[in-house]
Amino acid sequence: MTVMGHTAAYFPQGGRTHTLDVPEALPLEAIIRLLGADPQLILRALVDGEPSSLDRVPPDGASIVLISPAAGG
């Protein structure tokens, strides 16, 4: 899982890249919570390069990219 934008600061150790073994099929929203972050911080999600909703259960070995809204003023 790759986290793009300022939201990375809300993931463990402020990291942008995470590898995670999920014990059961979970939707993206639950996976984000498992990592200790709030799914409401995510604007867009990509699963294997395709747009996805946070209620989608990604397949085993999927590449996931989470994109946060732009910040600033």
Domain ranges of the chain: 2-67
Q: What is the dihedral of CA 52, 20, 11, 26, to 10 degrees?
A: 50
**Element at 32 (helix H, strand E):** helix 28-34
Indicate if the pLDDT at residue 71 is higher than 70.
Answer: no
First to last CA, the chain: 28
Indicate if the pLDDT at residue 5 is higher than 70.
Answer: yes
pTM greater than the 0.85 cutoff: no
- For domain 2-67, give the CATH number: 3.10.20
The more confidently predicted of residues 55 and 6 is: 55
14-70 pLDDT per residue, tens: 778 877 788 789 999 999 898 888 899 899 999 999 999 999 999 988 999 998 887
